[in-house]
Copies of this chain bind each other. A is one copy, B any other.
Amino acid sequence: MHGRKMPATLRFMLASRRSELLGLEDLARTCELVTRISQLVHALQKERGYSNIYLSGNAAHQRQQLDVLSLEAEALEREVRLDLDRIDLDAVSTADKTRLFTRIAYALHSLDELPALRRRIREHAISMQDATATLVRLIGGLLAVVFEAADTAADPHITRCLVALFNFMQGKELAGQERALGVVGFASGYFRADMLERLEHLLEGQERCFATFSRFASPAAQALWQALCASETNINACRLRDIARRTSPGAAVEPQLCELWFELHTHRIDAMKQVETRLEQDLLQQCRYSIERIRKDLQSHRKLLDGIADMHAAAEQAKLFSVQASDLDAPPPDGMTAMVARSTLELLLTQSVRLQGLNEELREARQALDERKQVERAKQQLMRQQGFSEGEAYSWLRQAAMNQGLRLEEVAQRLLALAQPAERAPARTLGQRSRH
C-alpha cells in the first residue's frame, strides 16, 4: 500500500472500492442472519400450527409432540440470538443500520414473550385465536427484519435474492395462517362468514407474494415451486379448502376433518420449506459470488492504482528535474503526466458507469418492496381515516382496483398521492425550529 504517498484522486478511488467490499461483507453477515431467521420462522410456524391442534384437543401425545416442536424452535432461537450477539454494536457508525436495528429490537422483544405464551398454551389459559394472533405478530416482526435487510442491501443481485426470499417467506407465512384458520374452522365444524372472507384474503395474499417471488427467484427455486403447485398434496389441500368454503352454521362438517386439514397443509408448508431452503442457498451463494468478484476487482484496481501512483511519482520527479531548465510556474506538460491523467480518467469512468448501472438495477429490484410499502401505507391510511379494520381496508383497496381495472399497488399509490399536501410549505422546519 502506498498510503499517504498516493495522490488524493487515487486514494478516494480506492476507498470507494474498499467501502463497497466492506459493505458487501457486512451485507453477507446480515444475509446469514436472514437465513437463520427463516429457519426460526419455519419452526415457529410449525409450533403455532400444532399449538392450535393441542388447544383444540388435549391428548398426552399432543403435549409431547408440542414440546418437541417448542424445543426445536428454542434451539433455532438461540442460534439467531448468538448471531445477533456477534454483531459488534459499538463498531457501527453509520445511519444505515438505524432501521434494521429497530426491527431487530422489535423482533427480540416479541421473542421475549415466547416462554410466557408457551406456558399459557400448555395451561389452556389462552384461546386458539389469541395464541395464533401472538405468534402471527411475532413472525411478522421477524419477517420485518428480512424486509429491512432487503430494503437496505446495496448489491442488486443480493437484493433480488432477498426480495425473492422475503416474498416466499411472506407467502408461506400466509399459508401458515391459512392452516391455523382452517384448524379453528374445522374444529368448530364450519367457517363463519368473516373467517371465509379472511380465507380469501390469505389466498390472494399468497398469490401476490408467490408471483413476486417468481419474478426474482432462480430457475431452480422456480422449478421446485412449480412441482409443488402440481403435487397431489397441493391439489388435495385445495379440495379441502373448497369444502371449507361450502360450510356454514347450517352445513357443518365432521370436526375430524381438522386433523386431515392440518396434515395436508403441513405437508404443503413442509414442501414450501424446500423451496425456501433453495432460496437461502441461492442467497448465500450470491453473497459469495458478489464478494469474490468485488474482491478480485479491488485487487486488480489496487494494482492499477499502484501502477498509476508509480507513474505519478515518476512524473513528479521528472518535473523536479526540469525545474532548473524551465519556469517553475510553467513546467511543460510532459507525456507521463498526461498518461497518468488518462489512465486515472479511464478507471474513473469505468467505475462511474458501473455504479450507475448498479444503481438502476437496485432501483428495479427495490421497486417490488416499495410497492409493498405503499399498499401497507394505504391500508394504514384507510384504517386511520375511515376507521376500517385491516381486512376492510384491504377489501376496499381490492374492490377499487377491480372497479378501476388497476393493480392493487396502483390504487394504493393514487390514494396516497391524493392524501399528500400538493406542496410542502418551504423549509418549514427551519422556520419552526428558530421559534423554539
Instruction: Say yes or no: A94-B19 contact (C-beta < 8 A), given A282-B430, A427-B218.
Output: yes
Question: What is the CB-to-nearest-CB distance from A76 to chain B, in angstroms, rounded to a whole number?
Answer: 16
Per the CB 8 Å criterion, the residue count for chain A at the interface is 85
B-chain residues with CB within 8 Å of residue A19 when the two chains form the complex: 92-98, 101
Among A84-136, those with CB < 8 Å from B are 84-85, 89, 91-102, 104-106, 108-109, 112-113, 116, 119
Q: Given the complex of chains A and B, what is the CA–CA distance between A105 and B6 in angstroms?
A: 12
Question: What is the CB-to-nearest-CB distance from A385 to chain B, in angstroms, rounded to a whole number?
Answer: 16
Contact A12 B89 (CB under 8 A): yes
B-chain residues with CB within 8 Å of residue A81 when the two chains form the complex: 8
Chief secondary structure at chain A's binding surface? helix
Chain B residue at minimum C-beta to C-beta distance from A377: B360
Contact B430 A22 (CB under 8 A): no
Contact A102 B426 (CB under 8 A): no
Question: What is the CB-to-nearest-CB distance from A364 to chain B, in angstroms, rounded to a whole number?
Answer: 7
Residue of A99, A113, A221 contacting most chain B CB atoms (<10 Å) = A99
Q: Given the complex of chains A and B, what is the CA–CA distance between A116 and B102 in angstroms?
A: 52
Among A1-51, those with CB < 8 Å from B are 7-20, 22-24, 26-27
Q: Given the complex of chains A and B, what is the CA–CA distance between A100 and B94 in angstroms?
A: 14
Among A60-94, those with CB < 8 Å from B are 81, 84-85, 89, 91-94
Contact B218 A20 (CB under 8 A): no
B-chain residues with CB within 8 Å of residue A285 when the two chains form the complex: 430
A214 at the B interface (CB under 8 A) = yes
A179 at the B interface (CB under 8 A) = no
B-chain residues with CB within 8 Å of residue A214 when the two chains form the complex: 426
A242 at the B interface (CB under 8 A) = no
Q: Given the complex of chains A and B, what is the CA–CA distance between A18 and B9 in angstroms?
A: 32
B-chain residues with CB within 8 Å of residue A7 when the two chains form the complex: 108, 112
Contact A341 B109 (CB under 8 A): yes
Question: What is the CB-to-nearest-CB distance from A3 to chain B, in angstroms, rounded to a whole number?
Answer: 9
Contact A18 B427 (CB under 8 A): no
Residue of A19, A104, A364, A424 contacting most chain B CB atoms (<10 Å) = A19
Among A420-436, those with CB < 8 Å from B are 420, 423-424, 426-427, 429-431, 433
B-chain residues with CB within 8 Å of residue A113 when the two chains form the complex: 341
A300 at the B interface (CB under 8 A) = no
Q: Given the complex of chains A and B, what is the CA–CA distance between A102 and B7 in angstroms?
A: 14
**B-contacting 9-mer, from A202-210, A232-240, A258-266, A347-355:** A347-355
Contact A95 B13 (CB under 8 A): no
Question: What is the CB-to-nearest-CB distance from A375 to chain B, in angstroms, rounded to a whole number?
Answer: 14
Q: Given the complex of chains A and B, what is the CA–CA distance between A157 and B428 in angstroms?
A: 9
The 9 A-B pairs at the shortest CB distance, nearest first, are namely: A23-B95, A16-B101, A12-B105, A218-B427, A15-B89, A95-B154, A9-B108, A13-B105, A19-B97
Give 8 CB contacts A-B under 8 Å.
Answer: A10-B105, A14-B89, A15-B89, A16-B102, A23-B98, A26-B94, A164-B427, A286-B430
